[in-house]
A and B are shown apart, each in its own frame.
Chain A
Amino acid sequence: MSSVKDLERLKAEGMNSLFPSKTKIMVGMATCGQAAGAQEVWQAIHQEVKRRKLDVVVKKTGCIGLCQHEPLLDILKPGYPRITYDRVTPEKVSEVLDGLVKGKFKKSIMARIDHEEFLLDDTRTRYSKDKIPAYITSIVPYNRLPFYKKQKRVALRNCGFIDPENIAEYVAKGGYFSLTQVLRGGKPEKVISQIKRSKLRGRGGAGFLTGVKWEVCRNADGDGKYLICNADEGDPGAYMDRSILEGDPHSIIEGMLIGGFAIGANQGYIYVREEYPLAIERLQSALTQAQEEGLLGENILDSGFDFELEICRGAGAFVCGEETALIQSIEGNWGEPKPRPPFPAVSGLWGKPTVINNVETWANVPVIIAKGANWFNGLGTSRSKGTKVFSLVGKVNNIGLVEVPMGISLREIVYEIGGGIPNGRKFKAVQTGGPSGGCIPKNLIDLPVDFDQLKKAGSIMGSGGMIVMDDRTCMVDVAKYFLTFLEDESCGKCVPCRVGIRRMRELLEDITSGRGREGDIEYLQQMAETIKEGSLCGLGKTAPNPVLTTLHYFRDEYEAHIRGKRCPAGVCKPLITYSINPETCTGCGVCLRVCPQEAISGKKKKPHKITSSKCIKCGACFEVCTFGAIVIT
């Protein structure tokens, strides 16, 4: 394609695909959907459609965010709103299609979607202009579900709405028009100034101003500049980048094309972690389609601008999410970070000026171009603009990906969007920022979430993982968990990080095993300060954060382990015992059957007993008991 006209043609094609004249069935086929059984649902649909000889279109889509309800199946029947079914099984597929054949929807509908939003065009299209039967209008529209009500989907604008393997649908949603606008304008400086004015900050962790980074790189001496997309989403508990890669890969490609034009780079790399095979597959198919359409390669849209993109598959190293280590890895070396300065924007990949931004940042770029810096600026707080995607996971009722304007309070996220804590347990803390972040306690629940406030509370934004913890989560164990993680992932280059983290982990090992001593807490604090000061890169500098925040907010738990030799949350194995409450035990015998150690005894219908000396505390009985009779003390 060489002109806007061609893009318009592709857009028309995409609109037909988004709103076909016959019924469309969509299945959420991101990794999370597949883990919940979407693959089986997908097969069942194809079988049933074939068997019933239905004239319908069956399409894949990405993750719409409500991962906990997956597999999700959507029916788009002309004349009706989009109908969403949740927790679909192959059996339910058959029932849903039965209904469809009879002209009536099966009634276990989770939500209806009335409009398709076109964020970039500032329009929305009603799925149905006809009068809708009352039984459908009585179903709650998805944007009024508590989970979606406060969300503002910018980076996730297309996830769950388009077929990620069809470039035309991306274009129909306004995709690649920002690129066209930028190329026709022909002024890279203008693009940079727009990104600068938007005050977009990097969504990968540190929150550096994207426009400033681009400007430094553009002004740096040397030809052959590079662009990198950091898709090495290593923070455990964060998966928004995977979702964007799997659900809307073209948004990243377009963002990078705009970035490439702005800084004067003709080559870009997307570094994806190997744990995301589906993301790599979808991205590869998107790259191929963009190449076929002439949106990648030479003389893009007849503008004289050339740009190539290549995928680099990571090999399993957390530290490669650090930009200098990532560059080492692309160059074919082991991922050891380098001291900065020089910053990559001046001397990066193969010594050339390089801009690195993460997936979510790139996905925001086309929106800022299309809607203007002021629009973006209007969202968020004074120093944190726009929206942020969080993965709300752990001990919370509505688990999933949420995108909200910066500045929304933790309470709104956990209680309104997340629906509170399951099983009547008590909220204890939210962990943000992955291993570099910290735990924010209950009394800070009204904290407005943005870069600066999280930092003030001792944590960081990081890439947006938000792990909710209840009273059955041990904070000392959480701190130990992160240190074990970091000890494994430390590259080993500098001593404070390599030896210091191990030493801290050993101390926590002692404390959680009942070998803690007076003075351990002070020793931990001292070590933490030294590691923070002495480490070379972000990994080491932030490694003590989970310990420091838990010590600050949950010191009593440390003291209970050290002085009382007990784990209040009932997690640390050496300090707990399993027993059965004879009052609630019905003697059903389920626990007895799953116990791998034959530690449980008892007659049928009589309360059972656990022999402590045989118990390995594997928790299998706790998992299966539906009467809450297994007690951990």
Chain B
Amino acid sequence: MSSFEDEGIVDEIIKKNEQSSLIVILQEVQSHYNYLPEQALTLLNKKLEVPLSKIFSLATFYRSFSLRPRGKNVIKVCLGTACHVKSGNNLFEKAKRDLNLTEGEVTTLDLGFTVEKVRCLGCCSLAPVVRINEDTYGSMTQERLSKVLKKYL
């Protein structure tokens, strides 16, 4: 995105959420772009007259916000306590290996996938659990994860 041609979209989000808090507005921006583009935040700063520092604080405080583009598919590997004691972390490593992500990388270069750790999806009875986009998979194994991932390729 060289020049930000989406001013209309940001305007619309602001208008639709006039009564709402800045967090709600950021959630809307993120759900539109899948992340928080810098240009959109700069526009919010001007239009809402909120310091950019405050917007940045919120964007970095809350885990659901991302300042970097995220993949088309978001894989959330649950690391709640039940999933932890059932080796959920091995699934996280497995997903990264399958997607050829190196240490520190969470999103594939083609923006196809983002792998994230998440603290409890509340499906502890089916631990370990992985959520891909809207689909939640219980009793996951490394072997099955590879098969499931192929559905999203």
Contact = CB atoms under 8 A, between A and B. Distances in A.
Interface string B113-127: 000001111111111
A482 B85 CA distance: 12
Interface string B121-137: 11111110100001011
A315 B65 contact: yes
Interface in B93-144: 93-94, 97, 118-127, 129, 134, 136-139, 141-143
A624 interface: yes
Contacts of B122: 31-32, 233, 238-239, 242, 275-276
Contacts of A68: 125-126
Contact of A32 (B65, B84, B93, B123): B123
Contacts of A31: 121-123, 136
Nearest to B81: A237
B21 A330 contact: yes
Interface stretch (B8-16, B56-64, B67-75): B56-64
A334 B81 contact: no
Contacts of B90: 618-620, 623
Interface residues of B, number: 45
B125 A399 contact: yes
A257 interface: no
A103 interface: no
Interface size class of A (residues with CB under 8 A): 35 or more
A315 B27 contact: yes
B23 interface: yes
B126 A317 contact: no
Contacts of B87: 619, 623
A234 B121 CA distance: 9
A317 B85 CA distance: 22
Nearest to B60: A334
A434 interface: yes
B82 interface: yes
Contact of B64 (A34, A316, A489): A316
A492 B48 CA distance: 27
Contacts of B124: 236-239, 391, 393-394, 399, 465, 467
Contact of A624 (B61, B82, B143): B143
A316 B63 contact: yes
Contacts of A332: 21-24, 58
Given A315-B62, A318-B119, A236 B23 contact: no
A405 interface: no
A449 interface: no
A8 to B, nearest CB: 36
Interface string A216-244: 00000000000000000111111100100
Contacts of A482: 81
A236 B138 contact: no
Given A237-B120, A275-B118, A623 B62 contact: no
Interface in A584-633: 594, 596, 618-620, 623-624
A618 B61 CA distance: 32
A393 B87 CA distance: 14
A140 to B, nearest CB: 21
A431 B24 CA distance: 35
Contacts of B137: 35
Contact of A313 (B27, B123, B139): B27
A335 B57 CA distance: 10
A452 B142 CA distance: 41
Interface string B20-54: 01111011000000000000000000000000000
A467 B82 contact: yes
Nearest to B144: A623
Contacts of A434: 81
B120 A596 contact: no
A200 interface: no
A277 interface: yes
A70 B22 CA distance: 39
Contacts of A235: 120
Nearest to B26: A315
Contacts of A318: 119
A490 to B, nearest CB: 11
A158 interface: no
A35 B136 contact: yes
A394 B64 contact: no
Nearest to B76: A275
Contacts of B94: 596, 618, 620
Contacts of B24: 313, 332
Contact of A473 (B26, B27, B85): B85
A278 to B, nearest CB: 9
The residue in A238, A332, A482 that gathers the most chain B C-beta atoms within 10 A of its C-beta is A332
Nearest to B58: A334
A19 interface: no
Interface in A344-399: 391, 393-395, 399
Contact of B138 (A36, A316, A465, A624): A36
Contacts of A105: none
A277 B126 contact: no
Interface of B: 21-24, 26-27, 57-58, 61-65, 79-87, 90, 93-94, 97, 118-127, 129, 134, 136-139, 141-143
Given A35-B137, A236-B83, A618-B142, 19 more contacts: A32-B125, A67-B123, A238-B122, A274-B64, A277-B134, A332-B58, A333-B58, A334-B57, A334-B61, A334-B62, A393-B81, A393-B124, A393-B127, A394-B86, A400-B125, A431-B81, A469-B85, A488-B119, A619-B90
21 contacts: A31-B136, A32-B123, A35-B137, A36-B126, A68-B126, A234-B120, A238-B120, A239-B123, A275-B122, A276-B122, A316-B63, A316-B65, A329-B23, A334-B58, A335-B61, A391-B124, A394-B82, A399-B124, A465-B124, A619-B90, A624-B141
